[in-house]
Chain A
Amino acid sequence: MLSYFFKRLGLAAAIVSVAMFLLFCMIYLIPGDPASVALGPRATEEMRAALREKMGLNQPVLVQFWNFYIGAWTGDLGDEVLSGRPVTTVVFEQLPYTLALIVGGITWSVALGIPLGCWAAVSRGSWADRVVGILSVAVIAVPSFVIAIYALLIFAVELRWLPAIGAGEPGNLGDQLTHLILPSLAVGLGWVGYIARMVRASMLEVLEASHIRTARAFGLPDRTITYRYALSIAILPTVTLLGVGIGQMLSSAVFAEIVFARPGVGKLVYDAILTRNFPIVTGTVLITTVLFVLLNLLADLIIGALDPRVRSSF
């Protein structure tokens, strides 16, 4: 188990290294001089040269990459161009908002998707199954920013049930949670559909298995069979799917943060791109990549915890 964990951690480090290289290339290839953008048109050539010197832009490319690479592993992603604050500080200030948004999105998708999928599977062929099927495909097809805009219009503007913008008053948990409901719904709603379809398909497969017949032959109650005997197996592909889906949720989070004017890394990177604040862009992308890789590792560990067959193959 432990050796498996370290093997996976090594693999994660390799993935992050490759991501760093690609990221660096991308930034390097973008036309335009970050120093002149940062300082504005009225800056003198000396000021620009000084900033380039400070940012290390006049060093050879490989040296720049090496400095970036080593810096990143030691937690130094450089300083922000405008305020001069360390990039890591800026990103980690915003990260909790985005994490809350994604956790909220996962909560929505799991809390609605799993019961709907189970319901559709046990009542296969009924009208309930068909309605769930149609709704699932519908919410998968609609882009998350469209859901965000409509959720905003209906629940915040027309009905005035929930707040429209912002992340809520700092320190006031209840206020922050009510501000989280709509954005996280926008992030998670499409995933309700994915998970409902996935759970339905794997439930149907598991319910046909002979051990389920054994459970029925021992007269176990239907609820025990569905939720304890069948779902505990049918949930496994869904966990993998969610692990991969975190990446897509991160990109939906960008839209949700912009539509709802919430703080967060999505908003941060959006603003940073508009102002050519490259250290922030690289820093944010890198940190979210690490986050994605770690959450995938977490999903694999959860599967190990749920499935003894996987656990003993670690």
Chain B
Amino acid sequence: MTTLRLDNLNVSFSTEAGPLHALKNVSFDVPENRIVGIVGESGCGKSTLINAILGLLADNGSIDSGSILFEGQDELTTLPSSRMRDLRGPRIATVFQDPMGALNPVISVGKQMLNIQYRSPLSKEEKTARAVEMLELVRIPDAQAALARYPHQFSGGMKQRIAIAMALMMEPALLIADEPTTALDATLEVTTIELLKDLQQKIGCSVMFISHHLGVIAELCDDVVVMYAGEVVERGTVRQIFQDPRHPYTARLLECDPARQSERTRHLPTIPGEIPDLRARPAGCIFANRCDRVADVCSTPPPDENIGDGHIARCFVADTPAETGVTA
């Protein structure tokens, strides 16, 4: 079964300068028990995607068309807000990027962990025991005493582990992790990733892991979705994307990863140009203005080319492997 299936999702925001088309024809699946990585630069629509799934779009945002199907039965785009609220937490749990601000500063950790279990029929003692158990699972020392403490009394890494414990305590079907390790230093990042993978296997949930860190994606994820300017330009398994990228953007992105740099250079490679203005999307390929394989045909909308085994790229030249090794 597929935990989450997005099909041709379109999201726009009304702004003073006209509508901003933030997500365009976004389709991908999060299969059961798999970890799907979403990768892309800042401003590629990752946060909008999360908010659309959670039903937490800002007041000026709206889902124009498409579907978000959860567990094969709940259509999240039309679900009443009260039903949506019942899914948030118990079925879809989220860990946000900023560990410093993710917990309420004036409510004790224990109280916050009890509050999110408000739907549970368990007694208060049982809920507390569950909170302690989860904190021990994420290796918070002296978990019982930690319940009485406040967020500012923990380090950033511990706060992020508490946030992970809170999310996984709900035993969700889908865990959305929005750059959960970006604000942490490198050593903490590795342990947090390992912890997350470990717990995912223990609890058996699907994970949507958002990151711009390609190394982390390669390490942790089963599938990868590459986003650019609100579109899914390529998706497939980690092996397909990292070893046989078909979309020129994916190829450029991989080149820009400092970890993949094999020769000494004075300059880190970058992709020249900027993301186009999303209030005036080009009719054709969104990447055309920065692409080194651009052709006349690129001024018309590119198809979602199926390369095989679920590897899909939104590009006219996707049937030939993208050139790599060309530094821009």
- The reply to whether A210 and B170 form a contact with Cβ atoms under 8 Å apart is no
Give per-residue flags for A209-245: 1 if the beta carbon is below 8 A from chain B beta carbons, else 0: 1110111111111001000110011000000000000
B135 at the interface (CB under 8 A from A): no
Cα A307 to Cα B104 with chains together (Å): 11
- The reply to whether A309 and B94 form a contact with Cβ atoms under 8 Å apart is no
Dominant secondary structure of chain A at its interface with chain B:
helix
Q: Which residues of B are found within 8 Å of A221, using beta-carbon distances?
A: 85, 118
Nearest residue, chain B, Cβ from A214: B102
Cα A210 to Cα B94 with chains together (Å): 12
Q: Which residues of A are found within 8 Å of B163, using beta-carbon distances?
A: 214
B265 at the interface (CB under 8 A from A): no
B242 at the interface (CB under 8 A from A): no
How many Å from the CB of A213 to the closest CB on chain B? 7
For chain A residues 177-222, which have a beta carbon within 8 Å of chain B? 209-211, 213-221
A312 at the interface (CB under 8 A from B): yes
B210 at the interface (CB under 8 A from A): no
How many Å from the CB of A158 to the closest CB on chain B? 45
Cα A229 to Cα B103 with chains together (Å): 10
Q: Which residues of A are found within 8 Å of B116, using beta-carbon distances?
A: 218-220
Task: Assess A217 versus B153: contact at CB under 8 Å? Given A211-B101, A211-B104, A233-B105.
Answer: no
Interface footprint category on A: 20 to 34
A137 at the interface (CB under 8 A from B): no
A306 at the interface (CB under 8 A from B): yes
Task: Assess A217 versus B105: contact at CB under 8 Å? Given A309-B150, A309-B152.
Answer: no
- The reply to whether A213 and B56 form a contact with Cβ atoms under 8 Å apart is yes
Nearest residue, chain A, Cβ from B105: A309
A308 at the interface (CB under 8 A from B): yes
How many Å from the CB of A238 to the closest CB on chain B? 14
Cα A233 to Cα B104 with chains together (Å): 9
How many Å from the CB of B127 to the closest CB on chain A? 14
How many Å from the CB of A233 to the closest CB on chain B? 6
How many Å from the CB of A202 to the closest CB on chain B? 13
Return the contact of B107 from the options A213, A216, A219, A229 (Cβ within 8 A): A229
Return the contact of B106 from the options A210, A220, A308 (Cβ within 8 A): A308
How many Å from the CB of A249 to the closest CB on chain B? 27
- The reply to whether B86 and A214 form a contact with Cβ atoms under 8 Å apart is no
How many Å from the CB of A204 to the closest CB on chain B? 13
Nearest residue, chain A, Cβ from B92: A217
B88 at the interface (CB under 8 A from A): yes
Q: Which residues of A are found within 8 Å of B26, using beta-carbon distances?
A: none
B251 at the interface (CB under 8 A from A): no
Task: Assess A308 versus B94: contact at CB under 8 Å? Given A217-B54, A217-B56, A219-B85.
Answer: no
How many Å from the CB of B91 to the closest CB on chain A? 9
How many Å from the CB of B67 to the closest CB on chain A? 21
Told that A216-B88, A217-B89, A218-B166 touch, could you supply 11 new A-B pairs with CB distance under 8 A? A210-B101, A211-B103, A214-B103, A219-B88, A219-B89, A221-B85, A229-B104, A229-B107, A308-B106, A309-B152, A312-B150
25 A–B contact pairs at CB < 8 A?
Answer: A210-B96, A211-B104, A213-B56, A213-B96, A214-B102, A214-B104, A217-B54, A217-B89, A217-B93, A218-B88, A219-B85, A219-B89, A219-B116, A220-B116, A221-B118, A224-B118, A232-B107, A233-B106, A306-B106, A307-B106, A308-B106, A308-B150, A308-B152, A312-B150, A312-B152
Q: What residues make up the interface of B, taking CB atoms closer than 8 Å to A?
A: 54, 56, 85-90, 93-94, 96, 98, 101-108, 115-116, 118-119, 150, 152-153, 163, 166, 170
Q: What residues make up the interface of A, taking CB atoms closer than 8 Å to B?
A: 209-211, 213-221, 224, 228-229, 232-233, 306-309, 312
